[in-house]
Structure 1
Amino acid sequence: MAVPPGPGTSGSAQEPPRHVLVPLALAQFICSFAGSNMNVMINDISEDLDTTVQGVQLAITIFLLVMAALMIPGGKLTDRFGRKRCLVAGLAVYGVGALLSAAAPGLGVLILGNSLLEGIGTALLIPPVYILTTLYFTDTAARARAFGAIMAMGGIGAAAGPLIGGLITSGLSWRAAFVFQALVIVVIVVLSRRISDPLPPEPGRSFDTGGAVLSAVGLTLVVAGILAADDNGWLTAGLLVLGAAVLAWFFRWIRAKERAGAEPLLSMSLFRDRTSNLGLVTQCLQWMVLMGVSFVVSAYFQVVRGYNAIQTGVIFTAATVGLLASSLAAERFAKRRTPRTLVTTGFVVTVGGIVTLLALAGGAQSAWASTPGLLLIGLGLGVMLTPSVNVVQSSFPEEQQGEISGLSRSVSNLGSSLGTAIAGTILVADLAVGSYAAALIVLAVIGCGGLVAATLLPRQRAVAGQGSGR
């Protein structure tokens, strides 16, 4: 992706376009917020729509899965139709989905509005957020700050989703939380009017429809297999095997297209860099832990302990504060420590936080006893979210930044959907202290897997300013 001279070009006396950064960071915030705020509405939605905890879990997981499955195709469409046009289209689809969710008479309409339309809208608007940031902020230091701000807003949106959602749900209703999302979308649309596309669209550019379908179907089958685990073991095994086969077919498909000289959905070169692959693994596992913990703790305190939305949201304040504090210090950390050190430290602190939650898993303790564990989890995730993505993006030249950005965001969202599906399935199988502890143990094991991957990263410092975020 060639970057034209622009307001943020290195050596230019003109200040970087901060009016561009505000709507882009706000867009990342609301999409991350949408992925976690429903966790505190489980009881309210279940009662109002006459559904179950599993029904709400299904809606949340489908939303995250749609984002993961369509993020890479969404990034490819920006070249064909233009970054600004895809951004606005994604905002519009998302806004319609939020309003439809607010008026949903049943779970089916909620899934249509929240899971499908908001998921599709997110997949359309998030790739332009990162591509436009790369195009506008060409100075290394300015781009590092811009991506750091977007990353921080994404992490805060995910961590603060339960708190903000709880406040709105308790003060008004769970439907008002979706109206809030629609209002934020209107603000972003207004603010983004000052954004212009630095590069013209390429309407004649080819699009790998077959690759997009295969990747989406494969990911969907894998997550569906996990969700079916508590109902039918044979169905789970069949879906997982079929999903793996479709994904293998996807990789054969893009390899064949590349050998034929055609443009595949993803270049195989993105998967040949060991450092990048390890970075993608750490990204996926980070978001598995974050979204898994968010769903499990929220569901447990609401369904088992009987807490309402605001009480549950307040409990997550510790995680929000921890993530905010460490995210704000991310740039300072990056100057003093290598990405490998930061990601490794982040996983150690996060796993320590989960162990602390495990120690407090008994039903007799006060909910506030969960504060230390959630604080540690927030601190650990905030430390490593940015450097893990920097490792990935700094592994590729400028012309591949758009493509690797789409893959990076897709992997992060896949981690979110897998975290909710795996930990949530364990919990809802038998909502009790034992299932709560079992779900947290699985998340701790996932965190340990991330720690192992982090220790295998190279020791050298990643190139600054090469992107960040979910």
Structure 2
Amino acid sequence: MSTEVVERAGRIVLPLALAQFIASYAASNMNVAISTIAHDLRTDVAGIQTTITLFTLTMAALMIPGSKLTDIIGRRRCFVIGLGIYGTGALLAAFAQGLPLLMIGYSLLEGVGSALLIPPIYILITVVFSDLKSRARWFGAVSGAAGLGSAAGPLIGGLITSFISWRASFLLQVLVVAGIALLALRITEPARTGPRPGFDVIGAVLSATGLFLLVFGILQTNRSGWGSPTVWLSIAAGIGVLAVFLVLGGRRERRGRTPLVSPSLLRNRTSNLGLVTQTVQWLVMQGAFFVISVFLQQQRGFSAIQTGLMLVPATVGVLTASALAPRMARRLPQRTLIRVGFTLTVVGLLLLVALVRADSAIWTFWPGLLFIGFGVGVMLTASVNLVQSAWPEEVQGDISGVSRSVSNLGSSLGVAIAGSVLVAAQSRGTPPFLSALTVIVVAGVLGWVAALLLPRTERRAPAEPSRATR
């Protein structure tokens, strides 16, 4: 690879990877500072947990509309606007003197900013790097940043909160986002071809409402359990609204108008199975990290910093896999990498089940966490590359929004399922840690089965999947 190509890639990929890191960091670092923030703002832990939940809901609800805006106002412009909104929210949160302003800054503005800045990250890499192997290299960098932000968020957040203040964590985000915005000014993207699409307002409202209800119902299982009628009513309502969204989108498409997301995106087997593997990957990673964190703090009495340090092997695994992603992409098909990733992850989970006990040595965590981190790192890059590469440039905005939404859904499912199993196991008197990990192992096996079903030939979808993209 020539120096010129590397420099060009650096101008584009560096700000994108940094932005993905800070977005993933924001979603994971708050958990270790809940008690501290609650005490400082004179509120309770439930209020801070609600704030974190609203951040997840806002991001999930607006990811698809935010992705569509990239086709209307431009990818780089949408990325920079998202950074601006995110940075404003972080600044407000840093100086919040009460729960309402924290919700406005963190839950609302950072959630909206994330929904605007995350989709362009993957779209830009797809449209700028046409070669599949080159694209895998830079997807590896971005996916590694995502995994690193999620895995290292508790450690970094714990260190900053313990030695400085939780407010310093938000101020750090402001500084990093400002630097990313300056770097983003150097990004060049291919000129748009064809007419600028319109914005489906009704579709945006329906998709946001449906995703909000679906994720809200899933997150409520942490408090109410899976047997609560409220949980299933919310989930059923969310699925119903999303079904109406797809039906109306198809009708709008048949009339020659551009829907928010074309239903034709659900007719590609490779893409669909890739989306399933993405959902399960994030479910397994976030669910495992949640279970381990709860176990370490409740059973072993670890502090926030100690808990974060225990997750370092997983972080090392993610970074190692991301560094090797370009070489692996040159030698192996994407579907093979996804299968290998799931295999390693399930092995890691089984090692935790076999070795870790309430009184076991610290080293018993390390092999399993290393396998999980490396396995997730391998398949995160491959599955994103698989899904995005299954479609032409004309629909990258649509598929990127769907891809980021299912990843967010997987994260929510991981925490919700793990939390509900822990609560149920405690009430029954069964070992919570082993029960929750066993459920996550089953989820990992299901993801592995989905990977086995991926077609042998990774075919690109037709260039014009619908009239709406012409």
Q: TM-score, normalised by structure 2?
A: 0.88
Given the alignment of the two structures, is residue 374 of structure 1 paired with residue 369 of structure 2, yes or no?
A: yes
Please give the alpha-carbon distance, in whole angstroms, between the structure 1 residues aligned to 2:240 and 2:216: 14
Amino acid of the structure 2 residue aligned with 1:122: S
Given the alignment of the two structures, is residue 36 of structure 1 paired with residue 28 of structure 2, yes or no?
A: yes
Question: Which residue in the other structure is 1:452 paired with?
Answer: 449
After TM superposition, list the pairs within 5 Å mapping 1:51-70 onto structure 2.
55-70=47-62
CA contact (8 A) 1:319 1:377 kept: yes
Taking structure 1 as reference, are residues 275 and 136 closer, same or farther at Cα in structure 2, changes over 3 Å only? closer
CA contact (8 A) 1:57 1:424 kept: no
Given the alignment of the two structures, is residue 155 of structure 1 paired with residue 152 of structure 2, yes or no?
A: no
CA contact (8 A) 1:92 1:121 kept: yes
Q: Give, in angstroms, the shift of residue 177 of structure 1.
A: 1.5
Taking structure 1 as reference, are residues 281 and 17 closer, same or farther at Cα in structure 2, changes over 3 Å only? closer
CA contact (8 A) 2:287 2:415 kept: yes
Please give the alpha-carbon distance, in whole angstroms, between the structure 1 residues aligned to 2:151 and 2:300: 21
- 5+ residue gaps, structure 2, are 461-470
Secondary structure of the residue aligned to 1:183 is helix
Aligned mate of 2:439, from 437, 442, 451? 442
Amino acid of the structure 1 residue aligned with 2:288: V
Question: Which residue in the other structure is 1:176 paired with?
Answer: 168
Taking structure 1 as reference, are residues 46 and 433 closer, same or farther at Cα in structure 2, changes over 3 Å only? farther
Taking structure 1 as reference, are residues 348 and 147 closer, same or farther at Cα in structure 2, changes over 3 Å only? closer
Given the alignment of the two structures, is residue 72 of structure 1 paired with residue 67 of structure 2, yes or no?
A: no
Structure 1 range deviating more: 402-411 or 445-454: 402-411
Question: Which residue in the other structure is 2:138 paired with?
Answer: 146
Q: Give, in angstroms, the shift of residue 49 of structure 1.
A: 4.4
Taking structure 1 as reference, are residues 314 and 188 closer, same or farther at Cα in structure 2, changes over 3 Å only? same
CA contact (8 A) 1:136 1:198 kept: yes
Question: Which residue in the other structure is 1:125 paired with?
Answer: 117
Taking structure 1 as reference, are residues 54 and 425 closer, same or farther at Cα in structure 2, changes over 3 Å only? farther
Given the alignment of the two structures, is residue 310 of structure 1 paired with residue 305 of structure 2, yes or no?
A: yes
Q: Give, in angstroms, the shift of residue 155 of structure 1.
A: 1.9
CA contact (8 A) 1:81 1:201 kept: no
Please give the alpha-carbon distance, in whole angstroms, between the structure 2 residues aligned to 1:70 and 1:331: 32
CA contact (8 A) 2:79 2:120 kept: yes
Given the alignment of the two structures, is residue 255 of structure 1 paired with residue 250 of structure 2, yes or no?
A: yes
CA contact (8 A) 1:64 1:416 kept: no
CA contact (8 A) 1:75 1:406 kept: yes
Amino acid of the structure 1 residue aligned with 2:280: L
Deviations 1:220-273 (A, max 9, x none): 212222233333712112212212211211111111111221111111111001
CA contact (8 A) 2:25 2:152 kept: yes
Question: Which residue in the other structure is 1:393 paired with?
Answer: 388
Aligned mate of 2:346, from 331, 348, 351? 351
Question: Which residue in the other structure is 1:164 paired with?
Answer: 156
Q: Which structure would you say has the larger RCO, counting Cα contacts within 8 Å and 6 or more residues apart?
A: 1
CA contact (8 A) 1:101 1:113 kept: yes
Question: Which residue in the other structure is 2:465 paired with?
Answer: none
- 5+ residue gaps, structure 1, are 1-7, 464-470
Secondary structure of the residue aligned to 2:8 is coil
Question: Which residue in the other structure is 2:467 paired with?
Answer: none
Amino acid of the structure 1 residue aligned with 2:454: L
Question: Which residue in the other structure is 2:84 paired with?
Answer: 92
Amino acid of the structure 1 residue aligned with 2:113: G
CA contact (8 A) 1:61 1:421 kept: no
Structure 1 range deviating more: 21-30 or 291-300: 291-300
Structure 1 range deviating more: 397-406 or 356-365: 356-365
Q: Give, in angstroms, the shift of residue 207 of structure 1.
A: 0.7
CA contact (8 A) 1:391 1:462 kept: no
Aligned mate of 1:245, from 237, 240, 249? 240
Q: TM-score, normalised by structure 1?
A: 0.88
Given the alignment of the two structures, is residue 206 of structure 1 paired with residue 198 of structure 2, yes or no?
A: yes
Please give the alpha-carbon distance, in whole angstroms, between the structure 1 residues aligned to 2:338 and 2:132: 22
Equivalenced residues, count: 454
Question: Which residue in the other structure is 2:218 paired with?
Answer: 226
Taking structure 1 as reference, are residues 207 and 50 closer, same or farther at Cα in structure 2, changes over 3 Å only? same
Amino acid of the structure 2 residue aligned with 1:283: Q
Taking structure 1 as reference, are residues 84 and 336 closer, same or farther at Cα in structure 2, changes over 3 Å only? closer
Please give the alpha-carbon distance, in whole angstroms, between the structure 2 residues aligned to 1:324 and 1:358: 24
Question: Which residue in the other structure is 1:195 paired with?
Answer: 187
Please give the alpha-carbon distance, in whole angstroms, between the structure 2 residues aligned to 1:461 and 1:271: 16
Amino acid of the structure 2 residue aligned with 1:81: I
Identity of aligned residues (%): 54
Question: Which residue in the other structure is 1:418 paired with?
Answer: 413
Taking structure 1 as reference, are residues 263 and 171 closer, same or farther at Cα in structure 2, changes over 3 Å only? same
Q: Give, in angstroms, the shift of residue 420 of structure 1.
A: 2.1
